[in-house]
Structure 1
Amino acid sequence: MSGLLALLDDVAAIAKVAAASVDDVAGMAAKAGSKAAGVVIDDAAVTPKYVHGFEAKRELPIIWKITKGSLFNKLVVLLPAALLMNSFAPWLVTPLLMLGGCYLCFEGAEKVFHVLFPHGDKHVEADLDVKDPAHLEETRVRGAIKTDFILSAEIMTISLAAIPEAAFLLEAITLAVVGVGITVVVYGSVALIVKMDDIGLYVAATSRTTMGQSLGRGLVKGMPKVMTLLSTIGTLAMLWVGGSIVVHGLEVTHLWAWPYETIQHLAEAFAHAVPEQVAGATNWLTVATADGVLGLLLGMLLIPFVTRVVGPVLERLTGAK
């Protein structure tokens, strides 16, 4: 009997450790996911364009293909690479984060530049010319998975940097939870977004009440505005997150601490100048705005370098436009 009680006591102890580990994973995953929020918003804003021009019945299958590719990117390629890097070359995490931050600044600034100075792109226009739907679908899916790889790499690197130092297995499980969770949120949201107009049409056609019909028509009419708003939020998030990563990286690596220190001093000054109830929000808004502005400036500087130097080099190496 005493042996059985001792066994039950051991089982209870193991259960407590397991429960604590689950709590640790959940807590670290939540923290890491929040750090990557800006990239997640951009990912959700970018993806719907890949189903543009296809029949409604192909939208969800295409999103499912991209989702599977995204999970492969995160769990099979990036997660092991991130863990190996963290174990054997942790000094690489910050430089890679900064490189990803520069990419986000470039992407965000390019969108702003296109709004300020609209211009066509023959490669984009050729992509929108639907000739062979099956080939176009395959091409779009490959393009979406490539874009997802870049964003996923940034998400996983940000998440890894946000996770407190822990056991290897705990870090691996946390990164896996973050990767799967973010993928489900992003592509679940994308699926809902691209089908919302169909849902609106169905509600408007089948509803027997005036309110229901109005709701359906409102969904159909409102989705273009929602997409525009989402794209705007995604662009702002890219500039904010990218600028923040670069500014913080410059301070951490001791390359140039002035931008980080100046922003912090400004934020504290503005926070002290407002009522205590809004001091925290003012501090955050000041930092986010300054990071976003610096991100935009950096991105604008990167546009000619990427389009005239990096782009042609990659085109020669890969043969892709």
Structure 2
Amino acid sequence: MAGASLLTLLDDIASILDDVAVMSKVAAKKTAGVLGDDLALNAQQVTGVNADRELPVIWAVALGSFRNKLILVPAALLISAFIPWAVTPLLMFGGLFLCFEGFEKLHHSYRHRKDQPEESPEVHEQPEITDWVAFEAEKVKGAIRTDFVLSAEIIAITLGIVADKSLSTQFLTLAAIGIVMTIGVYGLVAAIVKIDDAGLYLSQRQGESAITQFNRKLGFGLLSAAPLLMRSLTIIGTAAMFMVGGGILTHGLHIIGEQIHHAEQVVETVSVVGPALALLTPSILNGLFGVLAGAVAVFLITGIQKLRNKS
């Protein structure tokens, strides 16, 4: 009797794990776009620190990301069980926050360039950093804050996929996606920010063999590409804020979401380039809506702060 019960238990466990594996694969495909944005944003967020501090900073952000998941997974299960209607408003608030941060960066960059002396427009030096500990702490704090919003979207998308499954399957799938996504994102972020170190190592290889010469050329290529890649990540990361944040907002505002879907269907009918345009259209329109939403949020908060200062 006990043996039969044990076999039944093992069969139930195997069934649950099989469901978790299937649901995790589906969730990974659904969240792949958010994962790409998460990668660009976090790689951009941790740039600017000293080279010997890049990996410790990434590790600190990764630990913060794990803490975010420890908060988000139980919260998602509780919200889904008791107040499922709150998922969309909370996500929209997070999306608006991303748009706000993105536009605030653009606004700050514009003001910085505007304040530069007109007689030396070619000078765009970064302000000197005197307190590197505080600078790193601020970098880590900002990256963890951004990670929280993106992790919330990943968890929400995954929860929507497993909503009709048992509580144990939901929990295990959310946990699996959270762990895999965090390791994947920050592993790739670490690889990206250390490209220049890899290039320096390869460029200093000694010898005249074909492989060694190839390694040196590859190293010089990586050294040349690293600054361009990091500058590109700054642009991509800011654009990702608008696309992800705007996408969350348009998904919650069904009227706007339907118009974007209609625009996607219209451009798809264009000969030859239609399919490519259909892929790009939602991201572009979501990004533009994110810029608009971020601008409104920044100017509203700036206006409120000015009124408070006057009072």
Alignment of 1:230 onto 2:246: no
Distance 2:134 2:105 in 1: 27
The 10-residue stretch of structure 1 (25-34 or 226-235) with the greater mean CA deviation from structure 2: 25-34
Aligned to 2:167: 168
Closer, same or farther: CA 233–93 of 1 in aligned 2, 3 Å: same
Distance in 2 of aligned mates of 1:309 and 1:143 = 23
Select 2:267's aligned residue among 270, 274, 280. Answer: 270
Change (3 A) 1:53 1:288: closer
**Aligned ranges 1:78-93 → 2 under 5 Å:** 78-93=72-87
Q: For structure 1, which segment, 149-158 or 299-308, has the greater mean C-alpha deviation from structure 2 after superposition? A: 149-158
TM-score (norm 2): 0.79
Q: CA RMSD in A?
A: 3.4
Check 1:92–1:20 CA distance in 2 against 1; reply closer, same or farther (3 A cut): same
Deviation at 1:139, TM superposition (A): 5.4
CA contact (8 A) 2:202 2:216 kept: yes
Q: How far is 1:67 from its partner?
A: 1.5
**Aligned twin of 1:37:** 35
Query: 1:57-87 CA deviation, whole Å, 9 max, x = no partner?
Result: 3332232222122211212x22212211111
1:293 aligns with 2:291: no
Q: Tell me which residue corresponds to 1:218.
A: 221
Q: Output the CA distance in 2 between the equivalents of 1:116 and 1:143.
A: 20
Judge which range, 174-183 or 31-40, deviates more: 31-40
DSSP-derived class of the 2:179 partner: helix
Residues 100-146 of structure 1, C-alpha deviation per residue, up to 9 Å, x if partnerless? 1112222333344455554499xxx88x6234x55654555445434
Q: Contact 1:97–1:158 (CA<8 Å) still a contact in 2? A: no
How far apart, in 1, do the equivalents of 2:165 and 2:3 lie? 32
The corresponding residue for 1:318 is none
Contact 2:76 2:156 in 1 (8 A): yes
Aligned to 2:18: 20
- Aligned position for 1:94: 88
Moved more, 66-75 or 37-46: 37-46
Aligned length: 295
Which amino acid counterpart does residue 234 of structure 1 have in structure 2?
G
* Pairwise CA distance, 1:225: 0.6
Distance 1:29 1:72 in 2: 21
Q: 1:14 to 1:214 in 2, by over 3 A?
A: same
Quick one: distance in 2 between partners of 1:80 and 1:71? 13
TM (normalized to structure 1)? Answer: 0.77
Alignment of 1:35-184 (within 5 A): 36-37=34-35, 39-49=37-47, 52-54=48-50, 56-75=51-70, 77-114=71-108, 118-119=112-113, 129-131=129-131, 133=132, 137-138=136-137, 140-161=139-160, 163-184=162-183
Query: Percent sequence identity over matched residues?
Result: 38
Contact 1:62 1:137 in 2 (8 A): yes
Farther off after superposition, 97-106 or 228-237: 228-237
CA, structure 1 residues 140+167, in 2 after alignment: closer, same or farther (shift >3 Å)? same
The structural deviation recorded for 1:263 is 2.1
Instruction: Tell whether the 8 Å contact from 2:242 to 2:291 is kept in structure 1 after alignment.
Output: yes
CA contact (8 A) 2:38 2:147 kept: no
Which residue identity lines up with residue 194 of structure 2 in the other structure?
A: K
Unaligned runs of 5+ in 1: 252-256, 316-321
Q: Which amino acid aligns with 1:17?
A: S
The letter of the residue matching 2:222 is L
What CA deviation, in whole Å up to 9, does each residue of 1:150-182 have, x standing for no partner? Answer: 443344344434544322221211221222122
Query: How far apart in 1 are the matches of 2:218 and 2:37?
Result: 31
Match of 2:245 in 1: 242
Aligned-pair CA distance for 1:16:
5.3
- In the alignment, is the contact (CA less than 8 A) between 1:243 and 1:292 conserved in 2? yes
- CA drift of 1:200 comes to 1.1
SS at match of 1:197: helix
Task: Describe the shift of the 1:311–1:44 C-alpha distance in structure 2 as closer, same or farther (beyond 3 A).
Answer: farther
Q: Against the structure 1 CA distance between its residues 234 and 43, is the aligned structure 2 distance closer, same or farther, given a 3 Å change threshold?
A: closer
